[in-house]
């Protein structure tokens, strides 16, 4: 029961990250927003590391942290922040949930193995779901939605790259992976800040949103995620991916008054079911039903 509550808490936090990005992306600009986000996250994890008495040894694994930080944080965070200037919270959350699908495709290419029928079926469902969402957003927002949608999908693709890299990466403790990759992200994003300055007056609401995004939705959320991996296993912890779009839609509706269209619901259902087939959860679920 506690683990299920933790799983939903994590989904709520990561779903909330798209709300805070949406609030702060336009006034701060993508580079400043993400630099502050990863800095808050890194500092939060630094404080936690003191309490847990964990040594980072950043320079000993700097290449690993830079690669992981680039593909798992800096690049996708920037791309989603860019997209958030136009797209609503629910669209961002659903596009983000395609990451496991991209991860499966990249893994098949990486290992030069064929895709099973279930994976192919899941890919088709996921593509249809994204098409439903993308088609409506393009009609609703106009041509200016096309590039943000593409950049968000590239961000999800980047998560897929990070997942496959991590499988063959140097053996580093999960907490230190999160901690080190955040400091690496700080270094990677910093050079972009002068080219994308703050655009509007920074209000207390924006400061609060960025703090919540960095310290809570990134730093503390990573701690919760790695605790779930330890207690449930990586595959079970991955089920959080299926719940995030629900919270993304809910937070957008409650706090920004975003309309929950039929397209968003249909797109979310198709992407989630597709992801279940791609990651093998659908097969496991059906096998359990058969055993019962």
User: Stretch 265-279: mean pLDDT, rounded?
Assistant: 87
The vertex-272 CA angle with 33 and 256, nearest 5°, equals: 40
Q: Give residue 289's pLDDT.
A: 53
Residue 127 burial class via C-beta count within 10 angstroms: exposed 0-12, middle 13-18, buried 19 and up: middle
Distance CA 90, CA 173 (A): 33
Distance CA 47, CA 39 (A): 12
User: Stretch 250-272: mean pLDDT, rounded?
Assistant: 88
Provide the 8-state DSSP code for 115: P
Q: Give residue 287's pLDDT.
A: 60
Residue 211, SS3 per DSSP? helix
DSSP letter for each residue of 166-210: HHTS----HHHHHHHHHHHHHHHHGGGGGGS---S---HHHHHHH
Distance CA 50, CA 212 (A): 21
Per-residue tokens: 276: 């279940």
Percent of the chain with pLDDT strictly greater than 90: 52
Question: What sign has the CA pseudo-torsion 189, 10, 108, 130?
Answer: negative
Per-residue tokens: 258: 């975003």
pLDDT digit string, tens, across residues 92-137: 998 998 988 898 889 888 888 888 888 889 889 988 988 887 776 6
User: Stretch 75-93: mean pLDDT, rounded?
Assistant: 95
The top-scoring range by mean pLDDT among 124-133, 137-146, 208-217, 228-237 is 208-217
């Amino acid at each position: 029961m506690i683990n299920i509550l933790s799983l939903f808490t994590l989904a709520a936090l990561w779903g909330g990250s798209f709300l805070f990005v949406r609030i702060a992306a336009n006034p701060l600009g993508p580079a400043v927003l993400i630099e502050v986000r990863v800095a808050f996250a890194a500092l939060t994890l630094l404080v936690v590391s003191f309490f847990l008495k964990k040594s980072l040894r950043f320079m000993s694994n700097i290449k690993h942290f830079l690669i992981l930080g680039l593909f798992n944080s800096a690049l996708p965070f920037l791309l989603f922040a860019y997209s958030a200037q136009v797209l609503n919270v629910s669209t961002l959350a659903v596009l983000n949930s395609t990451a496991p699908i991209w991860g499966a495709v990249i893994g098949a290419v990486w290992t030069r193995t064929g895709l099973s029928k279930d994976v192919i079926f899941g890919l088709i469902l996921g593509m249809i779901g994204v098409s439903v969402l993308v088609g409506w957003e393009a009609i609703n927002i106009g041509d200016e939605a096309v590039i943000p949608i593409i950049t968000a999908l590239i961000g999800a693709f980047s998560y897929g790259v990070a997942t496959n890299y991590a499988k063959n990466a140097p053996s580093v403790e999960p907490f230190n992976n999160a901690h080190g990759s955040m400091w690496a992200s700080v270094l990677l994003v910093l050079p972009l800040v002068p080219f994308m300055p703050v655009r509007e007056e920074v209000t207390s609401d924006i400061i609060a949103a960025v703090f919540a995004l960095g310290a809570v939705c990134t730093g503390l959320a990573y701690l919760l995620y790695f605790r779930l991996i330890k207690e449930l296993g990586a595959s079970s912890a991955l089920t959080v991916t299926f719940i995030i779009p629900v919270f993304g839609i809910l937070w957008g509706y409650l706090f920004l008054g975003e309309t929950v269209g039929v397209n968003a619901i249909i797109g979310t259902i198709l992407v989630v079911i597709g992801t279940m087939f791609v990651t093998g959860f659908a097969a496991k679920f059906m096998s359990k039903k058969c055993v019962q």
